[in-house]
Amino acid sequence: MEKMATKILILSIGRYPHIGGKSTHIDLLKQLLPLAGFEPTVLSLSSLSPLKRNLANAPRFWGNITVDFALRRYFLKQMLNKMYPLEEFPLVLLQDTPAFPLCDRPFILTLHGSAPDEYASLGTIKPESRAYEKLLAEEIAALKSAQAIIAVDSNLKNQIISRASLPESKVTILPNTVDTTLFRPGTNKEQLKKEHGFLPEESLAIILRRLVPKNGVGYGIQALALLGRPNVKLIIAGDGPERPTLKKLTKTLGLEKQVLFLGSVSRERATQLLQIADVAIVPSVPDHNVIEATSISALEAMATGLPVIASSIGGLSELFSCQEGILVPPRNPEAIKTAWASILDDPSQAQSLGQKALAKVKKEYANEPWLSKYTTIIGRVLKGDKIGL
């Protein structure tokens, strides 16, 4: 008789699907966990009816994120009690700490970033405000209550150990992964460029990021202005609150014919764009204690065999620690320009960087080893092991 798959609930206070690393992470959990005998189900804001979603979101229009989250939790709790009983779903994979008060069973917390710092970076709350302190208190409570914690890089691990006074053994570093069957090098770049409306002689750079302060997209645009090469185009694939500011910057710098704002794109479209690009830029910056972790967009570019220019911060420094890409100081368009020019002027260097990046991803960030480590943690928690205690 075939063994029944163990049901697992993936829980998030935010929308799913959505644009960003957390949503991509959930996509991968849904894709990979069934291969290991688990049946994942997602409960998120998007699970609610349109009326309840609108009611929950309403307080944010007058800046009250505390009431916003309280309403989300109230409606999600109703669904949790009715549709996802403990007897059927013995474990929660918690994706953000504002959803922690919903956890009425063992849970593994994957920390993609600190919620209070992320919202401060976005300008949703002010640092050290009452809303910030409440989110921080919830985050610390979630960290202390979790049966296991997954951090996506060592910087984040150190931050949460310090904040919550945790034993180091409770936190496992498990960097993000990338689907190397989806993100892979193209076969004929010149032909692919023609098919997408570009000239073969045009050099294409890509920034595949949400348009938020911590992603530093404006520094990539400034670097293009410093580069001064009309045959170079910059594709910006992503959306967010910074878009009007970035478009204004592009116009001010006279780059409207060289910078293409595509908005949010699907993962399938992202693979196509990476395959026609010649270089990827990840110009992240520290912002309100938010420091880039193991960037999924960087991993996707590496898996496509692209040379990558990235800021030397957080998980990016770990990702390119052995010269698989070019690291530059954050907030430094001149350094980005210099690295960019070196790739344009030395095709052999560009090829070497791309090959090293691809080899590293296949060896260290492919789905199979990641899934094995993840399911080992799940298995220990389901057995009742006290990780880190």
pLDDT digits (tens, 9 = 90+) for 300-312: 999 999 999 999 9
pLDDT in the model for residue 3: 67
Assessment of whether the complete model's pTM goes beyond 0.95: no
pLDDT tens for each residue of the chain, 389 residues long: 456 789 999 999 999 998 788 999 999 999 999 999 999 999 999 999 999 999 999 998 888 999 999 999 999 999 999 999 999 999 999 999 999 999 999 999 999 999 999 999 989 999 989 999 999 999 999 999 999 999 998 999 999 999 999 999 999 999 999 999 999 999 889 999 999 999 989 999 999 999 999 999 999 999 999 999 999 999 999 999 999 999 999 999 999 999 999 999 988 999 999 999 999 999 999 998 888 988 999 999 999 999 999 999 999 998 998 889 999 999 999 999 999 999 999 999 999 999 999 999 999 999 999 999 999 999 999 999 877 65
Helix (H, G, I), strand (E, B), or coil: what is residue 93?
strand
CA-based torsion, 268, 271, 275, 279: positive or negative: positive
Helix (H, G, I), strand (E, B), or coil: what is residue 324?
coil
Distance in angstroms between the alpha carbons of the first and the last residue of the chain: 37
Write down the residue that tokens 């030397």 correspond to: 312
The class level of CATH for 6-177+366-383 reads alpha beta
- Contact yes or no for 315/292 (Cβ under 8 A): yes
Write down the residue that tokens 């993000």 correspond to: 176
Burial of 363 (0-12, 13-18, 19+ CB in 10 A): exposed
- Contact yes or no for 217/283 (Cβ under 8 A): yes
- Contact yes or no for 309/336 (Cβ under 8 A): yes
DSSP 8-class letter at 65? H
Instruction: Based on DSSP, count helices (H) and strands (E) in the chain, helices before strands.
Output: 15, 12
Tokens of 304: 């496509």
Helix (H, G, I), strand (E, B), or coil: what is residue 32?
helix
Sequence-distant contacts of 342-345: CB under 8 A, at least 24 apart: 343/278, 343/279, 343/307, 343/309, 344/203, 344/229, 344/232, 344/278, 344/279
**Which fold does the domain 189-364 belong to in CATH?**
Rossmann fold (3.40.50)
pLDDT in the model for residue 2: 54
Tokens of 117: 């710092």
> What does the buried/exposed string (b/e) look like for 283-296 if buried means 16 or more CB atoms within 10 Å of the residue's CB?
bbbbbbebbbbbbb
Give the mean pLDDT of the chain: 94
- Contact yes or no for 141/100 (Cβ under 8 A): yes
Neighbours of 340 (CB within 10 A): 27
- How far apart, in Å, are the Cα atoms of 265 and each of 167, 211, 241, 286? 40, 13, 16, 25
pLDDT in the model for residue 322: 82
pLDDT in the model for residue 1: 46
Residues of the chain with CATH 3.40.50.2000: 6-177+366-383, 189-364
- Say how far apart CA 294 and CA 208 lie, in whole Å: 14
